[in-house]
Amino acid sequence: MLKIHAFRYRYVILATTVAAFSLDLSADPDQNARKTDVLPISARVKRLFTETKTICVGRFLIDVPQKSEVVYGPTSLPWPIIAYPGKGNSIDKIVAERLSELAEEKDWAIGPLADEDSSVGKIVNGAVPNQKIIFGVSKESGGIYRIDSYIKVDSDLFIQKANPISSRKDETVRELNAIAASLRSRDELEVPTQPGVCIEAGFVSDPNIAGYEALNIGVRLAEFPDVHLAVSVTKKDVLVESDALEPRLRQAEEIASRSGNAAWYSHIKTLRRGGRVIGKWHGFEILAWKPAQAEEGESHEFVFVSQGEPKNSLLPVLEVEFHTGIKENRLGGTKPSVSDDEAVAIWDKLTASIRVRPTDGQ
C-alpha cells in the first residue's frame, strides 16, 4: 500500500552506497541507452496531465494527475495528529479502549507521574465539544506523559498524541486544545482560502497553531503504478545544516569509494544535478537512473531539497522524492514503466506546480 512506502525510501542513493551487497556487472553495458517502444514521450506525458486535481498539503498546493492516489503521511502540529475519516462515531469505543490500558500504565509511572496529584489515569473534557483528553504514561519513559486528544469533527475522528515531561503537561494541554479549537473537516479537493494548514480530511486555521509544522503526502500515478512521488514540508526554528542534500551526496560518493562500491556507483547515470529554484525555494536536486543490483532492479531516483528559512511557515524545509520501479513496497521490484526523458518530464511537471496556497488578503 502507498501508505507504507510513500514515506519510507528517503534518499536511497545515499543509503545504498554504504550497504554491503554483491554486484552483477555482467548486465548490458548499453542499458543506459534504453528506449521505450510505446507512444512518443510527449504524447504520454501530455496525456497524463490532461486532467489534474489540486491537492492541499500544509500551506501549499500541488497539481497531480486526476486519477492519482494521494495519501497523507505523518503530520505534526506540533504534536503528531492522525485522521480517521468517517470514524467520528467510534470515538466512545476508541476512548474506552484507551482507558482500559491505563491500569497497566500506572505501574510504569515514576517521579512526578507517580505522585498522588499526578494526572495519570485521568480523562477530561477538552476545550471544544466532542473532545476528550486522556493522560497516560509514555512507553519510552515512566517519567514522561502520554497525552491523547480525541476530537470528533462532523463524521471524522482526529487523534493527537503528545509526550511531554511533567513540567510541560499544562502547556501541552493548551497546545492540544488550540488545535482542537481550530480544526474542521475538509474534503480532499477543498482548497481553503483562509490562513492555516491542510491535513488529511481536515483544516487547522490560524492563529492558534504552535511553531512546529511537519506534513507529508505520497502520490502514486494510476497510469504508471510503479511511479511514486513524496513531498515533505517541515517548518523548523533553526537552520539544520544536515538537511542540505549536496554535502550528503559528496559524502556518499566518498564512502562508496572507500567501501568498494565504487564500481556500482560509477554506473549510476545522472540525468541532472545542481541548484534549482521551485517557487521561492532555492535548493539542490539530483535526478539519477540507478542500475540493477543483486536483489534490486533498475530504477529512477530523483530528490530535491531546500533548507527554506527558519521560523517561516511559508518557506519551510521542502523535500521532494520521486521513484520508479516500485512494486509491492520494494524498490526495483519491477522495470520502470517510463523512460528517462518521461521520468524527468513528469518530475518537472509535478515539482513546478508546488506553490504557496493563496489566502484571503494575500
Phi, psi of 171 (to 5 degrees): -60, -40
The answer to whether position 254 is within a domain reads yes
Work out the percent of the chain whose per-residue pLDDT is above 90.
73
Q: Quote the pLDDT of residue 40.
A: 60
Q: Quote the pLDDT of residue 1.
A: 31
Lowest mean pLDDT among 134-143, 200-209, 242-251, 294-303: 242-251
Lowest mean pLDDT among 30-44, 93-107, 257-271: 30-44
Q: Quote the pLDDT of residue 18.
A: 30
Work out the percent of the chain whose per-residue pLDDT is above 70.
84
* pLDDT over 60 (residue 162): yes
The answer to whether position 362 is within a domain reads no
Identify whether residues 70 and 116 lie together within a single domain: no
What CATH number is associated with residue 16?
3.40.1000.10
Residue ending a domain, among 138, 162, 182, is 182
Identify whether residues 89 and 71 lie together within a single domain: no
Mean pLDDT, the chain, whole residue set: 87
Helix (H, G, I), strand (E, B) or coil at 137: strand
Q: How many domains does the chain have?
A: 2
Reported as a pLDDT band with limits 50, 70 and 90, residue 68 is: very high
The answer to whether position 142 is within a domain reads yes
Lowest mean pLDDT among 17-21, 139-143, 169-173, 292-296: 17-21
Identify whether residues 178 and 225 lie together within a single domain: no
Cell numbers representing residue 328 in the block: 509491492
Q: Quote the pLDDT of residue 135.
A: 98
For 14-43, the pLDDT digits (tens) are 444 333 222 222 233 333 334 434 456 679
Going through the chain in order, the beta strands assigned E by DSSP cover: 52-57, 60-65, 69-72, 81-84, 123-125, 131-137, 145-153, 156-162, 183-185, 196-199, 202-205, 213-220, 228-235, 269-278, 281-290, 299-306, 317-323, 355-356
The answer to whether position 197 is within a domain reads no
Q: Quote the pLDDT of residue 305.
A: 96
Rounded Cα–Cα distance for residues 48 and 174 (Å): 46
Helix (H, G, I), strand (E, B) or coil at 42: helix
Identify whether residues 352 and 217 lie together within a single domain: yes
Q: Quote the pLDDT of residue 170.
A: 97
* pLDDT over 80 (residue 6): no
Identify whether residues 124 and 221 lie together within a single domain: no
What would the mean pLDDT of 199-225 be, rounded to a whole number? 91
Q: For residue 350, which of 103, 64, 122 has the smallest C-alpha distance?
A: 64
What's the distance, Cα to Cα, between the start and end of the chain in Å?
Answer: 38
Identify whether residues 234 and 325 lie together within a single domain: yes
The answer to whether position 65 is within a domain reads yes
Identify whether residues 67 and 96 lie together within a single domain: no
Q: Quote the pLDDT of residue 19.
A: 30
The answer to whether position 130 is within a domain reads yes
Residue type, position 70, single letter: V
For 170-208, the pLDDT digits (tens) are 999 999 999 999 999 999 999 999 999 999 999 999 866
The answer to whether position 204 is within a domain reads no
Reported as a pLDDT band with limits 50, 70 and 90, residue 337 is: very high
* pLDDT over 80 (residue 10): no
Identify whether residues 306 and 222 lie together within a single domain: yes
DSSP-derived secondary structure for 272-294: EEEEEEETTEEEEEEEEEE--BT
Note down the domain range covering 132: 81-182
pTM, to two decimals: 0.86
Identify whether residues 280 and 320 lie together within a single domain: yes
The answer to whether position 206 is within a domain reads no
Strand partners, 220: 69, 228
Identify whether residues 178 and 231 lie together within a single domain: no
Q: Quote the pLDDT of residue 261.
A: 65
Cell numbers representing residue 152 in the block: 470528533
Q: Write the burial class of residue 328 (CB in 10 Å: 0-12 exposed, 13-18 middle, 19+ buried).
A: exposed
> Is the torsion defined by CA of 327, 331, 333, 335 positive or negative?
positive
Rounded Cα–Cα distance for residues 3 and 12 (Å): 18
Identify whether residues 220 and 338 lie together within a single domain: yes
